[in-house]
Amino acid sequence: MGDNECCMTTHETRFRVRYAETDQMGVVYYANYLVWMELGRAEYCRAVGMRYRDLELNDGVLLAVVDAHCRYLSSARYDDEVAVTTWIEKANRRMVTFGYRMQNEASQLLATGETKHVFLGPGMRPVKLPEKYHSYFGIVR
């Protein structure tokens, strides 16, 4: 595996669509899919043994979103159960790209997406990810 490639470990996060997430037509408002990606990303990190909060508080490293894409395929509605599957598509010491797949309880694909993040220090300047976090992101030297 090269410096810019990662394993395909996935994590699934399940939840029910809340009424507040829907629009007047009873369909999930499109921006909520980005919120669901954030939920999936945070739970992925927690599942592999790393909390965002620790990265920020203990090491002053922030993950800034520099690019986000979502491809909408089918509508989700109030009270649907949604599963967000999250994985790391690629990572290196400067950035990480997460992939996402969202589907309902009938396994119907709702959306796919990805977010690209750069590691920033306290001054909002790019930094290299501390080595102790490399394994969480699948970074191999």
64, 120 Cβ separation under 8 angstroms: yes
Strands 62-72 and 109-120: what pairing?
antiparallel
Q: Helix (H, G, I), strand (E, B), or coil: what is residue 20?
A: helix
What is the distance between the alpha carbons of residues 88 and 9, in angstroms, rounded to a whole number? 7
What domains can you pick out in the chain, each with its CATH number?
10-137 (3.10.129.10)
Q: What is the pLDDT of residues 9-49, one digit of tens each?
A: 999 999 999 999 999 899 999 999 999 999 999 999 999 99
Which residues are identified as catalytic? 23
Q: What is the pLDDT of residues 100-140, one digit of tens each?
A: 999 999 999 999 999 999 999 989 999 999 999 999 999 98
Positive or negative: CA dihedral 124, 126, 132, 137: positive
Q: Global pTM?
A: 0.91
Residue 5's pLDDT is 44
Beta bridge partners of 63: 119
70, 32 Cβ separation under 8 angstroms: no
